[in-house]
Amino acid sequence: MILLQTPMETNPNYYDLSSRVQLEKLGSNQLGIRKVIKSRIIQKDAAKIVAIARQIKSVNPDLELTLICTHNICSKSLLLLEIEGIGVKLVE
């Protein structure tokens, strides 16, 4: 028996998300949520990211999710993302 792996979708509409959400494939089963902004990511922003991650997980629960952001993120946001099982990848 051959198991067919469904391709990972990076279109936010597939997950019933706003078209403003930027998704990118990071690995075979890992999806990145790109949030590179000039201002600092605060806890309120992290809560929105968690809501996005939950929506993605409701469609494909096997995906590992990672936030791609700059170093401008507060410690409370990092803690919230860690509790929710969302990795963080820092970029310049």
Q: Is there a domain that residue 3 lies in?
A: no
Q: List, as one string, the DSSP characters of the chain.
A: --PPPPPPP--GGGGT--TT-EEEEEETTEEEEE---SSPB-HHHHHHHHHHHHHHHHH-TT-EEEEEE-S-B-HHHHHHHHHTT-EEEE--
pLDDT of residue 7: 60
pLDDT class of 55 with cuts at 50, 70, 90: very high
Q: Is there a domain that residue 1 lies in?
A: no
pLDDT in tens, 31-49: 999 998 889 999 999 999 9
What percent of the chain has a predicted confidence (pLDDT) above 70?
92
- Is the pLDDT at 65 greater than 50? The verdict is yes
- Is the pLDDT at 86 greater than 90? The verdict is yes
The residue range of the domain holding 74 is: 12-90
Count how many domains the chain has.
1
pTM summary value:
0.87
Q: Is there a domain that residue 5 lies in?
A: no
Q: Is there a domain that residue 35 lies in?
A: yes
User: What CATH number is associated with residue 80?
Assistant: 3.40.1350.10
